[in-house]
Chain A
Amino acid sequence: MRIPIRMIGIATTFFWIFLIAFFITAVYSAKDLQFDFGDPKMGLTADNKVLFSLPITIVNKGYYNIGAFNITTEISDEEGFTITRGSTFVRVINKNDVVTINHNMTIDLNDLLQKGQNYLFNDTELKIYEAVGMRIAEVIPVQASTNLSLPWGAPLYNFVLGEIEYVAHNYTHLRVVVPISFENHAFFDLVGSIQIRMFNSTNVLVGEGQTNIEAIHNSLYNGYVELYVAITGMTETGHFEVSFLTPFFNYGPMVINYG
């Protein structure tokens, strides 16, 4: 019986040494894992969605491969509504290897605006849930996650129509100049057009006009829209219907009363 006992002892010792050495070196390897986050890029997809691309460089200087590397980003509003979710997966990062991945996310601003116009006109805070998961030495699953908040800048912050100016164009028509102003707090440059339709007090369309806008981000935009309106259709009160057409989103008509 001594020999089997001794064999068990030898096998146990061997496995213990192997296990401890493996575990210690695997944990130590995690220290030699580097993540470099590049500058985020923004673009537009073929279906007019905003595309965020974050380049991530992973340098694995450890003793073992990294398996099932996964990065997930979830952006939601203050009420918990998920705006977008992006996930990037790398099956294996070999030891002594450098891997660069692009973590992409798309945001459909039209979908966002369907939930409320708040995002267009008011700055707010977005919640970001970020999770990075991997298998150290392709065996030990590790996940790190955090919650962040991201300020959302409204592209049409403080949008107002100014004092309307009426100028005689000819005997039958007036030239109506509607000043518009807003601040583009968004992270993107706003390029597109604003269309204004003017209705009198009896809801009859009396004139319409549009102007192209080009508001770089974090800047104040001042412009105007010209409308040619028949004098006979004019009333002291009425309303405008304002529509926005941009590559990122289409919004409108938004009703603003005048008079």
Chain B
Amino acid sequence: MADANNDSKKRIRNFTFNALKAVVKGFLVYAIYFVLWMFLAPISEIVPGLQQMVETFVIVYIILMIVGELTSGTVFQHFFNAAKALFVIGYLILSLKGGIFGLTFKNVSLIVDLRLFLIIVTLLSLLGLTKSVLQAINYMNEKTEYTRI
């Protein structure tokens, strides 16, 4: 009875800690976005929809990060981390239209070739995906070993 009570308390403590960690992380990411956006703000006047595009990205990224943190200590954490990496790849490919970003502003057509940037982002996200897969394998491995002992 006492063990079950302790276990329950431990779980609540862990969850609270994870939730706190998630909130801090989310706040930090939003603060970074807020600072970096000041640099990009002049460009957003020329590029319609840029703010919305970046905001959507940041919101989904923060949500995935928070959910990942809340599920910390379980295998789902790694699933959400992998989802985060895949989301970065998918969202950037779709929103940047394959890397060739074009827009028209007052009879001036602007084309920005972001393919190199996209390739690097994709490679980094794949590295993140690899990390998550390895973490999931490691987690399952350690859990199995722990169960055996």
Residue A143 CB within 8 A of the other chain: yes
Residue B117 CB within 8 A of the other chain: yes
| Neighbouring B residues of A4 by C-beta, 8 Å | 134
Residue A139 CB within 8 A of the other chain: yes
Stretch of B2-10, B20-28, B64-72, B102-110 with 4 or more beta carbons under 8 angstroms from chain A: B102-110
Residue A113 CB within 8 A of the other chain: no
Interface size of A by Cβ–Cβ distance < 8 Å?
Answer: 28
| Neighbouring A residues of B36 by C-beta, 8 Å | 20, 24
* Nearest chain A residue, comparing its CB with the CB of B110: A144
Main secondary structure of the interface of A (DSSP, over half): helix
Contacting residues of chain B (113-130) with chain A, CB-CB under 8 angstroms: 113-114, 116-117, 120-121, 124, 127-128, 130
Residue B49 CB within 8 A of the other chain: no
| Neighbouring A residues of B109 by C-beta, 8 Å | 144-146
Cβ contact within 8 Å between B138 and A5: yes
Cβ contact within 8 Å between B138 and A141: no
| Cα–Cα distance between A128 and B37 once the two chains are bound (Å) | 37
Cβ contact within 8 Å between A31 and B138: no
**Is the interface on chain B under 10, 10 to 19, 20 to 34, or 35 or more residues?**
20 to 34
Main secondary structure of the interface of B (DSSP, over half): helix
| Cα–Cα distance between A28 and B42 once the two chains are bound (Å) | 8
Minimum CB–CB distance for A91 against chain B, Å: 18
Contacting residues of chain A (126-177) with chain B, CB-CB under 8 angstroms: 139-147
The 0/1 profile, CB within 8 Å of B marked 1, for residues 214-244 of chain A is 0000000000000000000000000000000
| Neighbouring A residues of B128 by C-beta, 8 Å | 12
Q: Report, nearest first, the 7 A-B pairs whose CB atoms are least far apart.
A: A141-B113, A28-B39, A8-B131, A146-B108, A1-B138, A143-B111, A12-B127
List residues of chain B with CB under 8 Å of any chain A CB.
36, 39-40, 42-43, 107-114, 116-117, 120-121, 124, 127-128, 130-131, 134-135, 137-138, 141
List residues of chain A with CB under 8 Å of any chain B CB.
1-2, 4-5, 8-9, 11-12, 15-16, 19-20, 23-25, 27-28, 30-31, 139-147
